[in-house]
Structure 1
Amino acid sequence: MKPRAGVGLTTIMVVLTVTTGVIEAVSFLVLGPVFTAVQTGNLLFLSFALTGAAGLSPAAAGVSFAGFTIGAVLGSRFESIVDARGRRWFPPALIGEALLLGLGGVVAWRTGLDAPGASADGPHYAVVALVAGAMGVRNVTTLRVRVADLPTTVSTRALTALLGGLPLLSDTRIGSGATNEGRRLASVGAMFTGGLLGAWLLHEEVRPAAVLLVPAVLVLLLGTTFWAGPGPRTSEPG
């Protein structure tokens, strides 16, 4: 059973996009430079690092890619099994993602790898893998939900569609209208806001592990709240 399209689901996707910005702030500014959600950028980091580019770690990029892949595979399998049984897979998928993010934050906190001058070692890569795994689950979940212009982990396509749908351009092959433009603007704005929030918290010397726990708590709340909602009015087959 997939969630029914509507304002509620759109709002959830916007909030998830904000959390992506926060997560990538921690990933890039503390754990990396590496991306855990935006695997396009991470694959480029990996290719650059393999040529010996300064300041890039092929190990971190490789661990992120592997963690993302495992998360996507396991998430897809889990959601397909739950769906085949006629149950709602969206809330437990969000909760599973939140638990992985939370575990990553706890590992970072307990091992002190987010302290100034901490070296990249086993715990460091464990956090990268856990966060990337959570983002792998996230991408499968949002792909199955299929809310137009709100993939939650990238905004390039939404930005392109937003620009193409402007009145002066009015590309007829790109859907226009207040609803479409609103979602696209929300996608771009949410990603920027999340990145700004994450970077600001780090700039204010909030421990990175604590910053990472912010999106974990938000996603957990979204999942539990949605799960507590009445199934017949919030879900449909598929």
Structure 2
Amino acid sequence: MKPRAGVALTSVMMALTLTTGMIEAVSFLVLGPVFTAVQTGNLLFLAFALVGATDLSPAASGVSIAGFAVGTVLGSRLESEVDRRGNRWFVVALLAEGVLLGVGALLAWRTGIHPPTGSGEPPTGRHFAVIALVAAAMGLRNVTALRASVPDVPTTLSTRALTALLSGLPPTADTRIGSGARHEGRRLASVGAMFTGGMLGAWLLDAAVAPAVVLLLTAALALCLGTVHWATPVERTSVRG
């Protein structure tokens, strides 16, 4: 069952975009520097590190890429199988993502991961474990975003939304990429959600909130969104396909 397009679905994807900013704040400022959602950054970090760039961990980037790949493959299989059986794959995807983020938060809590007290502290095995779990959740999320196909809201990357936003501004709007208040509003909200999430995550960490708590907040939101969709009648939230 495919989630029905509309304000409700767009709002869910915007909320997930906000949590991406929070997650990447933890990833970059505490676990790395590394990204768990924006894999373009990891590919570049890995390339830089392999030719001798300092303060970068090729292991952290590699673990994140591997975790993301596993999450993408397993997430694709899971969502496709649930969909094949005629069930609500979007709900399952949100709940599965929330569980992965929750396990990552629990591991960060149990292993005592905190923001580094100095520069140049390399990530350790406990960091790698959390990176892998969170990256797997983000791989699954990317599959969900592709299947949901909400225009201008990929949830883990704002480059295209920002490009479309700027290209659609009058008086030189590019009509081939869509223009108008509805398109521009959605793009602006997408970029704003990512920025706000990053700022919120960094602020929480700066206020001495444990990284595990920040991750737990993102997990709780994914679980809440999944639960709400599960409890909402099918005819109002989903369509065949």
SS at match of 1:154: coil
Is 2:17 the counterpart of 1:14?
no
| CA–CA distance in structure 1, aligned partners of residues 45 and 7 of structure 2 | 36
Normalization by structure 2: what TM-score?
A: 0.96
> TM-score, normalized by length of structure 1?
0.97
Which of 184, 187, 191 is matched with 1:184 structurally? 187
Deviation, 1:169, is 1.5
1:222 and 2:225 matched: yes
Q: Is this contact kept in 1: 2:113–2:211, CA < 8 A?
A: no
3-state secondary structure, aligned to 2:175: coil
Q: Is the 8 A contact 2:158 2:191 kept in 1?
A: yes
Pairwise CA distance, 1:139 = 0.1
Q: Which residue of structure 1 lines up, in the alignment, with residue 160 of structure 2?
A: 157
Q: 1:200 maps to what in 2?
A: 203
Aligned to 1:37: 37
- Contact 1:14–1:150 (CA under 8 A) maintained in structure 2: yes
Query: Given the alignment of the two structures, is residue 140 of structure 1 paired with residue 143 of structure 2, yes or no?
Result: yes
The aligned amino acid for 1:99 is V
Matches within 5 A, 1:42-191: 42-114=42-114, 116-117=116-117, 120-191=123-194
Q: Which one-letter code corresponds to 2:7 in the other structure?
A: V
Q: Distance in 1 between matches of 2:221 and 2:187?
A: 22
Summarize deviations over 1:107-150 as a string: whole Å, max 9, x none.
Answer: 01101122645863222110000000000000000100000000
Structure-2 separation of matches of 1:56 and 1:208: 20
The one-character-per-residue Cα deviations of 1:204-226 (angstroms, maximum 9, x if unpaired) are: 11111111111111111001111
SS at match of 1:176: coil
Would you say the 8 A contact 2:30–2:115 is kept in 1?
no
Superposition RMSD in Å = 1.1
Whether the aligned pair in 2 keeps the contact of 1:113 and 1:119 (CA below 8 Å) is no
2:23 counterpart letter in structure 1: I
Is the contact between residue 150 and residue 158 of structure 1 (CA under 8 Å) also seen in structure 2? Answer: yes
Is 2:57–2:123's contact at 8 Å kept on the other side of the alignment?
no
Q: Which runs of 5+ in 1 are unaligned?
A: none
- 1:75 CA drift (Å): 0.2
Is the contact between residue 57 and residue 122 of structure 2 (CA under 8 Å) also seen in structure 1? no
One-letter amino acid of the structure 2 residue matched with residue 171 of structure 1: D
CA contact (8 A) 1:14 1:187 kept: yes
